[in-house]
Chains A and B, each alone.
Chain A
Amino acid sequence: MQRIRIRYTKEGRVRFVSARDLTSVWERALRRADLPIAYSEGFNPHAKVSFPDALPVGYASTGEYAELTFAAPIDPGPDLGRLSATLPGGMDITTYLEVPDGAPKLAKMLGATLWELVLPEADEDAATAQVDRLRDASDELVAATSAEVLRLRPNGEEKPIDVRPALLALRAFLRPADTGGALHPTLRAVLRNDGPTVRPTDLFTALTSRRDPAADRGASPPPSDAPADALPTPRVHRRVAQGEPLDGGLREALSGEVVPLEPARSAEAA
């Protein structure tokens, strides 16, 4: 048995494929690539592809991970290249690592996630104003010891979540949009993966609801209280990478590369 861990992307249309459906997407791609994936025993055998966690439907990612177990050895470079080519558009294998026996569990290597929230494009003035607001809110949030928000569950109940313990680092910056001159206010944050799950949406709620530090801590104001110049909701939620948290970023789990909080080619740096 050969175990290989991979990092892959989930961008574009496949973002809307649920974690549950993803299993068969992988199984079928592995069969098309004709790779000797191992199957579980039993009457209803399943390909041995395991995922450390599930990405919410609609989120983009360049930091998805999976562990594949093969019944016979493969030649990872070309074979995984073939697999990557037959995956649906938007899914690409970007890194792989053969796992020696006794290696720690994949989830152990993914201690933290670098998230990215991209706001809709805006002209320079508006975008700068938004980024300034995000920065103020970020400073406040980082300085606080706790930041409770209410998350609406599918059953309509609200669940209180403290965002602060999971937050390791946070940065707001501007990034050039595809269309000339416009900019995307962007937020990147490193959140710990252990402990209670904090979603990037919870983080954004915490940022946008912390207008008055003196206000009753934790309760997010009802929407009617939202200021007229409320920040627009992010257009893209992206899981950039996972790995070990570092000062100013993250060490990606499989490649060891450092992924910075603020990418070098953001608009301000340019």
Chain B
Amino acid sequence: MTPPPALLQIAPPVDRAAVRRAVDPETPPSYFEALEPFLPSVKKPAQYVGGEHNQTFKPWGSADVRWLLNYPDAYEVGQPNQGIQILYEILNERPTTLAERSYAPWVDLEAIMREHGIPTFSLENHHPLWAFDVFAVTLPHELAHTNLLNLLDLGGIPVRSAKRTADDPIVLVGGHAAYNPEPLAPFIDAAVMGDGEEVTLEIDDVVRAWKREDGRDRHALLKRLAGVEGVYIPAFYEARYTDDGRLKATVAVEPGVPAIVPKRTVQDLEQWQYPKKQIVPMTEVVHERFSVEIFRGCTRGCRFCQAGMITRPVRERKPETISNLVREGLKNTGFEEVGLLSLSSADHADIGTIARDLADEYEGTATSLSLPSTRVDAFNVTLSNELARNGRRTGLTFAPEAGSERMRGVINKMVSEEDMLRTAEIAFANGWRHCKLYFMVGLPTETDEDVLAIADLSIKVYEIARKHGHKNKVTTSVGGFVPKPHTPFQWVAQDTPEEIHRKLKLIRHAIKDHSGLKLRTNDPEEGVIEGLLGRGDRRVAAAVERAWELGARMDGWHEMPTLDTWMQALEETDVPLARYSYRDRDEDEVLPWDHLDSGLEKAWLWQDWQESLSGDEVDDCRWTPCYDCGVCPGLDIAHDTGYDAANATLPVVPSGLGGGGLPIMPARITDRA
């Protein structure tokens, strides 16, 4: 591991308040000139220069409120994120607001920034973080928490919110990991769960009004922000513990703030057709394509899946909207690939039509289409055939998620072995040459038999592959399961990395005689940090800060093994990892996110967890009667699908699948974000 740079504080100028209020378009300083001489010597320097097509470039003085949006990880993984791009467009459409973007510097540049006093900067104008009014950070997962602290420190603002003054920006987080922001509570000013489109504009209004009327009293601003529905201000809540260290409750201690903060849900996606003018990167990023979110939410009810639980209910875009967005988007970006994005894209009620129409429209052009879908069924193969009209039939991905039928029942991913084998048969018979299979180990109630069933199923699929072509390949990917908040598995113990390693070894051993069957695994070590931060409470914050001080950052990167650093931090701060991660919780344990309402009833989640133990499946509620998870009645909205039983274009119960929760998972591991 590259030694972490020493933490040299980047000091902002004393008169930064003047800069923040400035109407002079020349201020604040641009750090581009300071950065430029070092760029030839850092990795992938184009990630730091901005200037991409479709970026918005507003004069500083033209705006009352200035946002710095951030994806707290390297540009190559953060740039494709749609959340930041949506908020960027929405905010910049306001004449009185300006939004710029930023990402996390790689460690090589960080060392240079610290040595030469270059602060966290925006890509548009290389303005320093300390000059903005709002630092809005997306947290799509937990492995960027240390990066967030690092960006704050590099940006010249205090890492702890209690030390910030009216001269510092408001540090606001959103995205999936904001559904349990407690391990970050001392470092952030505000968190929002759920869809950001509407709430961002409401926050912008509040900040504008505050700046105009007063602009000095930070507490007053936080108080006003707490009045916006869905805005959680951790400083206004206190976590109380029993003498033996259990959480008693997280209670509001500031008068007038809500006891329970709800998530925000945009009811009609049709009204929010963003991002339209997507940023076109000039350097390699993970996804280089025009992405259209075809629907939001997922109703499959896979019990391990946080994304599927917290983004309910399903809200679909109309096929016409999708094809318009694609047409316009390709024109104004020049991208050569279109990605139909969602949590389980094959589930759109009109996906058949959408795929056919797009395939027709772009047949014979250099435009390719991608649909990250991993449903184990013939329909998925048909869809993929359609979208691959222009290209090669290389790889298909399927996610049975667990090896044995019993285990799949527990996680509510009902695919029979027969379904999997028949789907593989169809895929290879249709000329596909490579199948990837996704599995997890470390699931609740798992036995070694369940683990070995992964090897068994993979070998069977591999045999089918070989029957259709000597060169056909199968890759089995296995990751360690990490229990997440707001899911039916939020109570379960996580496997230790040693246990995950042992299970992976069982699989490796069982497939060793099949040389064309490749096994890919994730670092079980990363899951340790992810699990701790996922279900941690406020007391974990001390460890986050300490780990960062000791040099932990980029925790999700293979190149940066930070687990030892974390272990040291946990020891120094007395944070008992086993208590947070390796223990089953019982029904009445108070959870650190109990005051944060994702719309799912805790009682329903518990019941679903209990039912999983008997392998009871829950149907997809998009097609079958509601099972009262809590989301829809609570939000007063229902699944908005174009589904009409009489004219169904999608097989509700695909042939031979035996009904039940249709197995699907988004994308490849890298896509699985």
A: which residues have CB within 8 A of B?
12-14, 16-18, 20-21, 24-25, 27-32, 34, 39, 43-45, 47, 57-58, 86, 88-90, 235
Contact of A89 among B39, B48, B51 (CB under 8 A): B51
CB-defined A-B contacts under 8 Å, sample of 17: A13-B50, A14-B282, A17-B46, A18-B283, A21-B46, A21-B283, A25-B282, A28-B280, A29-B53, A31-B335, A32-B332, A32-B334, A44-B391, A45-B366, A57-B40, A58-B39, A90-B51
Q: Is B471 interfacial (CB 8 A cutoff)?
A: no
Are B284 and A16 in contact (CB-based, < 8 A)? no
B42 (CB) vs chain A CBs: closest residue:
A16
Per-position contact with A for B572-615: 1 when CB-CB < 8 Å, else 0? Answer: 00000000000000000000000000000000000000000000
Closest chain A CB from B79 CB (angstroms): 13
Which A residues are in CB contact (< 8 Å) with B32?
Answer: 13
- Docked pose: A9 CA to B384 CA in angstroms: 42
**A13 CB contact (under 8 Å) in B49, B284, B391:** B49
A58 contacts B334, C-beta separation under 8 Å: no
User: Does any Cβ of A come within 8 Å of B161's Cβ?
Assistant: no
Which A-chain residue is minimally distant from B391 (CB atoms)? A43
Bound form: Cα–Cα A13–B336 in Å: 24
Which chain A residue has the least Cβ–Cβ distance from B282?
Answer: A17
Nearest chain B CB to A48 CB, angstrom units: 11
State the total of A-B contacts with C-beta under 8 angstroms.
69
Nearest A-chain residue to B37, judged by Cβ: A235
Q: A21-B284, A43-B391, A57-B40 are in contact. Are A31 and B51 (CB under 8 A)?
A: no
Could you say which residues of chain B place their CB within 8 Å of the CB of A14?
A: 49, 51, 282
**Which 5 residue pairs of A and B lie closest in terms of their CB atoms, listed nearest first?**
A28-B334, A58-B40, A31-B334, A13-B51, A32-B334
The winner among A25, A90, A235 for most chain B CB atoms within 10 A is: A25
- Complex Cα gap A27–B337 (Å): 12
In the complex, whether B392 has a CB less than 8 A from a CB of chain A is yes
**Contact A88–B40 (Cβ < 8 Å):** no
Contact B51 A32 (CB under 8 A): no
Q: Contact at B332–A43, with CB atoms within 8 Å?
A: no
- Residues 309-336 of B contacting A (Cβ, < 8 Å): 330-336
CB–CB A39/B366 < 8 A: yes
Contact A57 B392 (CB under 8 A): no
Chain B residues, CB < 8 A from A89: 51
B46 touches A16 (CB 8 A): yes
CB distance B283 to A17 under 8 Å? yes
User: B residues touching A (Cβ–Cβ < 8 Å)?
Assistant: 32, 37, 39-40, 45-46, 48-53, 280, 282-284, 288, 330-336, 366, 391-392
Q: What residues of chain B lie closer than 8 Å to A58, measured between beta carbons?
A: 39-40, 45
Complex CA distance for A235 and B37, rounded to whole angstroms: 8
Nearest neighbor of A29 in chain B, beta-carbon distance: B334
A-side contacts of B331, CB under 8 Å:
32, 34
Please determine whether B50 and A31 come into contact, CB atoms closer than 8 angstroms: no
In the assembled complex, which residues on chain A have CB atoms less than 8 Å from the CB atom of B336?
27-28, 31
Q: Would A30 and B52 count as touching, CB distance under 8 A?
A: no
A165-B51 Cα distance, complex, nearest whole Å:
39
Question: Complex Cα distance A235/B38, Å?
Answer: 11
Q: B332 contacts A88, CB within 8 Å? A: no
The closest CB in chain A to the CB of B330 belongs to A31
Q: In the complex, what residue of chain B is closest to A37 when comparing beta carbons?
A: B366
Return chain A residues, CB-CB under 8 Å to B51: 12-14, 88-90
In angstroms, how far is the closest chain B Cβ from the Cβ of A152? 12
Chain A residue contacts of B53, Cβ below 8 A: 28-29, 32, 86, 88
Determine whether the beta carbon of B335 is less than 8 Å from that of A28: yes
Note all chain A residues with C-beta closer than 8 A to B335.
28, 31
Complex Cα gap A161–B616 (Å): 73
A237 to B, closest residue via Cβ: B40
Asked if A16 contacts B366 (CB within 8 A), the reply is no
Q: How far is the CA of A195 from the CA of B283 in the complex (A)?
A: 31
Cα–Cα distance between A29 and B335 once the two chains are bound (Å): 9
A39 neighbours in B (Cβ, 8 Å)? 366
Q: Which of B46, B52, B366 contacts A18 (CB 8 A)?
A: B46
Chain A residues within 8 Å of B333, by CB = 28, 32
- Shortest Cβ distance from residue B99 to the other chain A in the assembled complex, whole angstroms: 19
Q: What's the minimum C-beta distance from A155 to chain B, rounded to whole angstroms?
A: 16
User: Chain B nearest CB: distance from A102 CB in Å?
Assistant: 28
Residue of A nearest to B48 (CB): A16
Residue among A28, A89, A235 with max Cβ neighbours from chain B (10 Å): A28
The distance in angstroms between the C-alpha atoms of A47 and B334, with both chains bound, is 12
Bound Cα distance from A214 to B46, whole angstroms = 43
Determine which of A21, A43, A44, A45 lies in contact with B282 in the assembled complex, contact meaning CB atoms within 8 Å.
A21
Please name all residues of chain A whose beta carbon is closer than 8 Å to the beta carbon of B49 when the two chains form the complex.
Answer: 13-14, 16
A11 to nearest B CB, angstroms? 11
Cβ distance B366 to chain A, nearest Cβ, rounded Å: 5
Residue of A nearest to B283 (CB): A21
Q: How far is the CB of A47 from chain B (nearest CB, A)?
A: 8
User: Most chain-A Cβ atoms within 10 A of its Cβ — which of B32, B39, B332?
Assistant: B39
Separation of A178 and B266 alpha carbons in the complex (Å): 51
Complex CA distance for A31 and B51, rounded to whole angstroms? 18
Q: Whole-angstrom distance from the CB of B390 to the nearest CB of chain A? A: 9
Please determine whether B366 and A57 come into contact, CB atoms closer than 8 angstroms: no
Contact A16 B39 (CB under 8 A): yes
A89 to B51 alpha-carbon distance, docked (Å): 7
Min distance, Cβ B64 to any Cβ of chain A, angstroms: 27
Give min CB distance, B628 to chain A, whole Å.
48
CA distance A24 to B330 in the complex (A): 14
Contacts of A21 in B (CB 8 A): 46, 282-284
Report the bound CA distance from A86 to B391 in whole Å.
28
Report A234 CB to chain B, min CB distance, Å.
Answer: 11
Q: Which residue of chain A is the closest to B394 with respect to CB atoms? A: A43
In the complex, what distance in Å separates the CA atom of A27 from the CA atom of B365? 14
CA separation between A24 and B285, bound complex, in Å? 12
CB pair B282–A88 under 8 Å, yes or no, is: yes
- In the complex the two chains form, what is the Cα distance from A186 to B163 in whole Å? 49
| A12 CB to nearest chain B CB (Å) | 7
Q: In the docked arrangement, what's the CA distance between A112 and B52, Å?
A: 32
From B45, B288, B330, A16 is in contact (CB under 8 Å) with B45
Across the interface, name the chain A residue whose C-beta is closest to B388: A43
Given A28-B280, A57-B40, A89-B51, 5 more pairs with CB closer than 8 A: A16-B48, A24-B288, A27-B336, A43-B392, A58-B45
CA distance A169 to B52 in the complex (A): 38
Closest to B335 in A: A28
Contacts of B40 in A (CB 8 A): 16, 57-58
- Residues of B near A90 (CB, < 8 A) are 51
Q: Is the CB of A27 within 8 A of B334?
A: yes
Q: How many Å lie between the Cα of A18 and that of B47 in the bound state?
A: 11
B392 to A44, Cβ gap below 8 A?
yes
Chain B nearest CB from A61 CB (Å) reads 14
Report A119 CB to chain B, min CB distance, Å. Answer: 13
When distances are taken between beta carbons in the complex, the residues of chain A under 8 Å from B45 are 16, 57-58
Closest to B51 in A: A13
By a CB distance below 8 angstroms, the chain B residues around A47 are 366
Give Cα distance in the complex from A47 to B336, angstroms. 10
Min Cβ gap A87→B in Å is 9
Cα(A70)–Cα(B426), bound, Å: 40
Which residues of A lie under 8 Å from residue B282 when comparing CB positions? Answer: 14, 17, 21, 25, 88
CA distance A47 to B37 in the complex (A): 33
Q: How far is the CB of B115 from chain A (nearest CB, A)?
A: 18
Q: Which residues of B contact A18 (CB under 8 A)?
A: 46, 283
Most chain A CB inside 10 Å of its own CB: which residue of B45, B46, B50: B46
Residue of B whose beta carbon sits closest to that of A58: B40
| Least Cβ–Cβ distance between B490 and chain A, in angstroms | 42
Smallest CB separation, B379 vs chain A (Å): 24
Contacts of A28 in B (CB 8 A): 53, 280, 333-336
- Nearest CB in chain A to that of B284: its residue: A21
CA of A185 to CA of B45 in the docked complex: distance in angstroms? 27
